[in-house]
Amino acid sequence: MISLDRRIVSGILPALVLVGALLSGCATTESKVDPLEPFNRTMYKVHTTIDDAIIKPVAQGYVKVTPAPVRTSVANFFGNIDDLFSGINDVLQGNGNRAGDAFGRVLLNTTFGIAGIFDLASMMGINKDPNDFGLTFGKWGAPQGPYLFVPLFGPTTVRDGSGWLVRLYTGPANYINDIGVRNSLYGLGYLNARAQALDAESVLDAASLDRYLYLRNAYLRARRYQLYEGKPPPDADDQ
């Protein structure tokens, strides 16, 4: 999952979440999880066209020219912000232990880890444990809603996409007044996230006959697993 330039996201993502929510009301369901499949496949094509032409080459270039320790620092910096939101959502889900670990990580890494660029907490054995608003909404009983593929953002659902909107409008970068600095941060965050996805993407390419379906199913299964904290109840897919 990717943090995006706010101007792009604030246009595309809400529109799609809204469209998804509206269409889900009247869609004749072919697939229960993906009633908007034809629409999503079009969006997926739009995405791959832009991604192949611009974003992926830039991300590959970033990996090529930037020394690994620098990339690790960039990843840690944004990972530290992710940890802050993990902690907030741990609290919203009433999980004090996980919240303690997450806020402990943020505290350590922000201070002794110099604004998060060193992940000291992991070295000390306080491990990363991601959490987000989409999972909080799920725990509060919100339905998953239709699957959505959002260009430049990736796979999501109405519930997870709504979670991202909340995150976007509460994100710490909103408190930065210098628009240039803020947009540079969003840009770097996006590049970092895209570069981190390159490895998984090469496995996806090698594994799948239909990338759209493989990605959709993997996304939904992984989110379900996260929602149930590693112990999802058995369903039709399990044998």
Partner 1 sequence: MLTRMIATLMGALLSLSLAAPAAWAQEAPDALVKRVADDVLNTIRGDKDIQAGNQAKVKQLIESKLAPNFDFTRMTSLALGRNWRTATPAQQTQLTDQFRTLLVRTYSGALSNYRDNTMNYKPMRMNPGDTDVVVRTEVTRPGQSAVPIDYSMEKMPDGWKAYDVVVAGVSLVTNYRDEFNGIVQKSGVDGLIKALTDKNQGPAPPPPVAK
User: What is the spatial distance between Cα 143 and Cα 158, in angstroms, rounded to a whole number?
Assistant: 9
Interacting stretch for partner 1, rule CB under 8 A, among 7-15, 74-82, 149-157, 164-172? 74-82
Write down the least CB distance from residue 169 to partner 1, Å. 25
Q: Which of residues 175-204 bind partner 1 (CB under 8 A)?
A: 198-199, 202-203
Smallest distance, partner 1 to C-beta of residue 150, A: 20
Tell me the CA distances in angstroms from 163 to 70, 104, 138, 174, 204, one per residue in order: 30, 23, 10, 17, 25
Q: Which of 28, 97, 127, 177 binds partner 1 (CB under 8 A)?
A: 127
The verdict on 130 binding partner 1 (CB under 8 A) reads: yes
Indicate whether 75 belongs to the interface with partner 1 (CB under 8 A). yes
Q: Does 30 bind partner 1 (CB under 8 A)?
A: no
Contact pick of 6, 41, 128, 182 for partner 1 (by CB under 8 A): 128
Residue 65 makes contact with partner 1 by CB under 8 A: no
> What CA–CA distance (Å, rounded) separates 10 from 5?
8
Does 52 participate in binding partner 1 (rule CB under 8 A)?
A: no
- Distance between CA 205 and CA 48 in Å, rounded? 12
Contact 164, 133 (CB under 8 A): yes
Per CB under 8 A, the list member of 21, 27, 58, 63 interacting with partner 1 is 63
- The region of 12-20, 149-157, 176-184, 208-216 touching partner 1 under the rule CB under 8 A is 208-216
Do the beta carbons of residue 5 and residue 183 sit within 8 Å? Answer: yes
DSSP codes joined into one string, 25-66: HHPPPSSSS-TTHHHHHHHHHHHHHHIIIIIHHHHHHHHHHS
- 12 CB-contact burial (10 Å; exposed 0-12 / middle 13-18 / buried 19+): middle
- Indicate the residue among 17 and 86 with the shorter CB distance to partner 1: 86
Q: Is 154 left (phi over 0), alpha (psi -120 to 50) or beta?
A: left
The two three-digit tokens of residue 77, written as one number:
């910096």
Our CB check for partner 1 shows the closer of 4 and 126 to be 126
Of the two residues 47 and 224, which places its CB atom closer to partner 1 in the complex? Answer: 224
Site residues, partner 1 (CB under 8 A): 60, 63-64, 68, 72, 75-76, 79, 119, 122, 127-130, 198-199, 202-203, 205-210, 213-214, 216-218, 221-222, 224-226, 230, 232, 237-239
